[in-house]
Amino acid sequence: MKVIVIGCGKFGITISEYLNRQNHDVTVVDNNREAFHSFNEDFTGKMICGFGYDKEILEQAGVTTADVLISCASNDSMNAVIASVAKNIFHVPTVIARMYDPIRARMFEAMGIYTLSVTRLEVDNIVEYLEDNKNWRVIRKLGNEDIQIVKVRADSSLEGTALSNLSVEGKMQLIALERRGRSLFPAPDMACEYHDMLYLAVQRGFIVQARELLKL
């Protein structure tokens, strides 16, 4: 994955070094060049000095082709701005922001931005989220949980697949998708594109078959 990390505090450095060791393409951004001295000598990621909310700096960091942006700057307001720019202007598929304010955190979760609170600010939380969100994430369980609303990121194996083929009567229904920052209802003549975000209602007993159908 191509990952951009904004903020080189203790947590930003820790997650950047971890992802770099896992052979991900990591770019870190901080407005204090001295912060880069805290990285281990074996860190091979790219370092850019600048403000993470600056569109030119983000473009320099490769935001237009990034898979993930993690904003862990020093305050909620900064992370809110950066996350919003990444999600709504550059349409980064996965955006993660550190938030101390639980009300603001809930608001951003509703916008599809994963937030890290003080209580779950651990590398394992981000790694787990990235692994789950990479392909499949349950975002809502309805009633007695017999039906789940799941969010699926389409990879290259689904590209060109007719959206009508992603529904099974009584078992799974494609209800919406996000494509290049737009929310759409699926039309019969539409085909899946790489990096589409698919929203499906899936019967609990059909989960395994659904994942197979979606090539996960």
By the 10 Å C-beta count (0-12 exposed, 13-18 middle, 19+ buried), 59 is classed as exposed
CA nearest 172: which of 137, 146, 192, 191? 146
CATH code for the part of the protein at 135-213: 3.30.70.1450
Sheet holding 197-203, edge to edge: 136-142, 147-153, 197-203, 172-179, 182-184
Give residue 44's pLDDT: 93
135-213 shares the fold of 2-121: no
Res 216 pLDDT > 90: no
Whether residue 114 contacts residue 129, with contact meaning beta carbons closer than 8 Å, is answered with yes
Angstrom distances, CA of residue 160 to CA of 60, 141, 154, 172, 185: 31, 29, 11, 19, 17
pLDDT at 101 over 90: no
Q: 2-121: CATH homologous superfamily? A: NAD(P)-binding Rossmann-like Domain (3.40.50.720)
Whether the per-residue pLDDT at 198 is higher than 90: the answer is yes
Average pLDDT over residues 57-78: 89
In the chain, domain spans = 2-121, 135-213
pLDDT tens for 26-53 read: 999 999 999 999 999 999 999 999 999 9
